[in-house]
Amino acid sequence: MLDKRSVSSHVFSTFKERLSDCAEARQNIQILDVGAGLGSSFKRIYDLGIGSRIDYTVVDIEDLHVATARTEIRRWLSERGHVIRDKSPRHIVATDVGREVNCQFVTADALRFAAESSDAFDVLVGQAFLDIIPLKTGLKALFKALRPGGVFYFPINFDGISALLPVEDKARDTLVEDIFHQSMDERNDGRTGGSQTGRQLLNILPLVGARIDAVGASDWIVRPLPGSDKYSHDEKYFLGCILKFMHNELMNSKRISSESRAEWFQQRCEQLELAQLKYIAHQLDYTGRFVGE
Ligand SMILES: C[S@@+](CC[C@H](N)C(=O)[O-])C[C@H]1O[C@@H](n2cnc3c(N)ncnc32)[C@H](O)[C@@H]1O
């Protein structure tokens, strides 16, 4: 829900135009979703209503995510009145009046899978994924899956701001944010785009043969429901996870004392319980075509 609300509508509507072009040019659209998690991008894309036949491949390195994505997508399509046929444990075919979708669910390293797919796909989707791969070599591997002129859609790329409000102790808040971002920057021995992935893509995408047709912000902004002193259930849980995640990174750092860390965590958890805590994460979305290097 948070991702759906946050994605850039400008970028998504440009992606929609590119997808329509694909549907006009080809009888079935082949879509590859890398680092697909529980398959939430599928629903947004399928809901656009474009294409009478779609082949959608979900790839994730975690088998549990892939299995959950299958269950969730199957349930979602069935609730929409589609007739579902299980072609194999990892392949479903869903049909509705005038529409058919073939969904395949693959547990694999997406970079390897894409590199070995060679030109098989019309569309490449990667949501909240690029900050965990080596950016330049990873993108080169991913683009190998696209036919020339293929379309890419990369929403939710973190870009260097994780602000918790209210500001309590500016120096400490800045240090906490900095340690959190440093942990992203050190991931994979510093070979990923880390905390600056969003802005780095602006330069790197053209270097690896991608034409950026639209870029826009997709910031997560979490706050209590309007006119209420409560968060939605999901978003309270989400904020709790963010706090635990940040706290874990602080525990791995010598830059903050254990007293200061404990005080920070307790204060932020209390604010969460009182629905006083707000959170902003700055992110960027991209769409365009792979035109080749
Ligand atoms: C932040 S989640 C994003 C999930 C989904 N795209 C979404 O936006 O809801 C990143 C996903 O990438 C997967 N992942 C991490 N490294 C991967 C790799 N090398 N190949 C495929 N999947 C990977 C993780 O298991 C996780 O499901």
Mean of per-residue pLDDT scores for the chain:
95
- CATH class of the domain whose range is 2-158+192-219+284-290: alpha beta
Atom of ligand 1 at shortest distance to CA of 33?
A: 6
* 84 pLDDT higher than 80: yes
Mean pLDDT across 118-128: 95
286 CA to middle of ligand 1, Å? 17
10 CA to middle of ligand 1, Å? 24
Instruction: For residues 152 and 106, give the distance between their C-alpha atoms in angstroms, rounded to a whole number.
Output: 20
Q: In whole angstroms, how far apart are CA 226 and each of 8, 193, 231, 232, 242?
A: 21, 35, 9, 10, 21
Contact 148, 292 (CB under 8 A): yes
* 250 pLDDT higher than 90: yes
Q: What is the pTM of this model?
A: 0.96
Q: Whose CA is nearest to atom 12 of ligand 1?
A: 35
Q: Whose CA is nearest to atom 17 of ligand 1?
A: 61
- Measured from CB, residues less than 6 Å from any atom of ligand 1 are 3, 35-37, 40-41, 59-62, 65, 109-111, 127-129, 132
Fill in the amino acid letter for 211: R
- Domain edges within the chain: 2-158+192-219+284-290
CA atoms within 13 A on the CB side of 282: 12
Atom of ligand 1 at shortest distance to CA of 155?
A: 8
Atom of ligand 1 at shortest distance to CA of 109?
A: 20
Q: Whose CA is nearest to atom 27 of ligand 1?
A: 37
* The pLDDT of residue 251: 96
pLDDT band of residue 3 (cuts 50, 70, 90) is confident
Mean pLDDT across 94-117: 96
